Structure 1
């Protein structure tokens, strides 16, 4: 994880990501305690999107991170 010119960059063995503001918000919310539903609620509130849309986006993003071994399930 590295901040480059105001953008958060995260790397894994398979993929590198330059995170958007909302992706960075989700990434920083992944702490081993927050559930996907809770992170979705935070995203919904912050970006004023319906909770179902926010949770779907969180699931999609976290799935990408898992598949590319940037995060791991505990």
Structure 2
């Protein structure tokens, strides 16, 4: 899935019941269905999910941090968010309030 499916104004939120642990230098995110080992980029994105930042905001942060194209970064963020949502590890709040 890409940013076409999860548009830039979409706001991901962390679940209140998620469990997070760092083990041997790797962050593990436990949702209700499975555990995800987050690589460096996924951890960077996940740490910025605060219920206010949109996918576009997260993509801009990722692009600035790793010096990559903003469009590519937004697609990468959308792909990760889609995967985490599909397994119940995070949720989507919807577009930000205007």
TM tier relative to shorter chain: over 0.9
| Aligned-CA RMSD value | 0.8
Q: Distance in 2 between matches of 1:44 and 1:38?
A: 10
From the two aligned structures, give the one with the greater helix fraction: 1
3-state SS of 1:72 partner: strand
From the two aligned structures, give the one with the greater strand fraction: 2
Q: Distance in 1 between matches of 2:92 and 2:39?
A: 23
The question of 1:27 aligning with 2:64 is answered no
Structure 1 unmatched runs, 5+:
none
The structure with more radius of gyration: 2
Structure 2 unmatched runs, 5+:
1-19, 94-98
The alignment of Structure 1 onto Structure 2 pairs a total of residues equal to 74
Deviation at 1:33, TM superposition (A): 0.5
3-state SS of 2:50 partner: coil
Partner residue of 1:66? 85
TM value normalised by structure 2: 0.72
TM value normalised by structure 1: 0.95
List, as ranges, runs of 4+ consecutive aligned residues in structure 1 with deviation greater than 3 Å: none
Partner residue of 2:6? none
Residues 10-25 of structure 1: matches in 2 within 5 Å? 10-25=29-44
